[in-house]
Amino acid sequence: MTSTTASPRFAPMTSASRAKAAPRPRRSIAVGAREALTMWRRKQAVFVDLRDWEILDQTGWIEGSLHCPPGEFANIVSPTSPLHARLFEPGKVFIFYGGPDFPPLASAKRARERS
């Protein structure tokens, strides 16, 4: 006699079982300067400068980096934005940087949530 119920091991996930499931671990979103530079030299990464134009003009920038002021960040990282497809290449790692007034970690988290 065969059972018509699915084995618990292969049972489809319900909303209750999803709530109990542990979240998948994500890769770290913080990298060191040496690792970031290595990835950039291998063309595996894109630097995203989060500082305002005034600060950028005073202190300089990394050549080849994408400048994304904080006020424009939400529009650029939105997948519906026409700029998103042109700027964010698939398979690239994005390294956000700024100063104490422009926290790159918070911006990286927001970008990850929107992608």
CATH number of the structural domain spanning residue 45: 3.40.250.10
Torsion of CA 39, 23, 108, 99, to 10 degrees: -100
3 in any annotated domain: no
**What total number of domains does the chain contain?**
1
Rg (Cα) of the chain, in Å, rounded? 20
99 in any annotated domain: yes
Q: Give the Cα-Cα-Cα angle 7, 12, 17 (nearest 5 degrees).
A: 100
Give just the sign of the alpha carbon dihedral 67, 103, 30, 20: negative
Whether the pTM exceeds 0.85: the reply is no
5 in any annotated domain: no
24 in any annotated domain: no
47 in any annotated domain: yes
Both tokens assigned to 94: 């994005």
- Other CB atoms within a 10 A radius of the CB of residue 6 amount to 9
4 in any annotated domain: no
* pLDDT over threshold 60, residue 17: no
Structural domain boundaries, residue 91: 31-114
* pLDDT over threshold 50, residue 58: yes
Higher confidence at residue 73 or residue 50?
Answer: 50
Reported as a pLDDT band with limits 50, 70 and 90, residue 5 is very low
12 in any annotated domain: no
7 in any annotated domain: no
